[in-house]
């Protein structure tokens, strides 16, 4: 029995009805990760040629795109296409270059963008949630608390005191 496959299958089932683009991105990454795990663990022969690293210009294009409102909602396939790689190749190369998955990187960018908006604007939380690519204010709040340890309102209030 392969405990990793069992865990990934359970996580994939949990994201089969994605409520947001981020859950879709996570589901795509899980699928690619499972495929890579199967190849790594069960393939008869490993690839003979090492894969080259993600080209700096491709990485810059992807990061620039992620900084846009559309980029905060992009799928793994969208990001791979911008880089000019297959989805599985892009995932491996992005992880090697950035030391995080595209999903983790996009999540951090979304939270950073929300912090900026909370600090510098009076926009309603629901508007900030949508502007940062969250499906709802509730999803935004949950993710923000997980990342910062405080609610968006608490963060905004703390920034005003500075």
Instruction: Give residues with Cβ within 8 angstroms of 67, minimum separation 6.
Output: 109
pLDDT number for residue 10:
83
- Determine the angle formed by the axes of helices 21-42 and 3-14, rounding to 10 degrees: 160
Give 57: exposed, middle or buried? Use CB within 10 Å, 0-12, 13-18, 19+: exposed
pLDDT number for residue 141:
95
Q: What letter does residue 43 receive in the DSSP assignment?
A: -
pLDDT number for residue 79:
96
Give pLDDT < 70 ranges for the chain.
16-22, 44-52, 161-162
pTM: 0.67
Per the CB < 8 A criterion, the answer to whether 91 and 103 are in contact is: no
Q: What letter does residue 144 receive in the DSSP assignment?
A: H
CA 157 to chain centre: 27
For residues 136 and 118, give the distance between their C-alpha atoms in angstroms, rounded to a whole number.
Answer: 16
pLDDT number for residue 33:
86
pLDDT, tens digit (0-9, with 9 covering 90-100), for 16-59: 665 666 677 888 888 888 888 887 777 766 555 555 578 899 99
């Amino acid at each position: 029995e392969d405990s990793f496959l069992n865990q990934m299958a359970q996580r994939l089932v949990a994201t089969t009805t994605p409520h947001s683009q981020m859950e879709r991105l996570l589901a795509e990454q899980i699928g690619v990760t499972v495929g890579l795990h199967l190849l790594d663990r069960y393939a008869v022969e490993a690839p003979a040629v090492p894969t080259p690293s993600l080209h700096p210009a491709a990485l810059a294009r992807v990061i620039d795109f992620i900084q846009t409102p559309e980029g905060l909602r992009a799928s793994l396939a969208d990001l791979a296409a911008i880089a000019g790689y297959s989805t599985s190749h892009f995932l491996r190369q992005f992880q090697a270059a950035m030391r995080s998955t595209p999903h983790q990187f996009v999540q951090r960018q979304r939270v950073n963008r929300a912090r900026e908006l909370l600090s510098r604007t009076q926009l309603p939380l629901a508007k900030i949630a949508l502007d940062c690519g969250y499906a709802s204010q509730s999803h935004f709040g949950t993710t923000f608390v997980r990342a910062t340890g405080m609610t968006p309102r608490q963060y905004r209030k703390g920034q005003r005191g500075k």
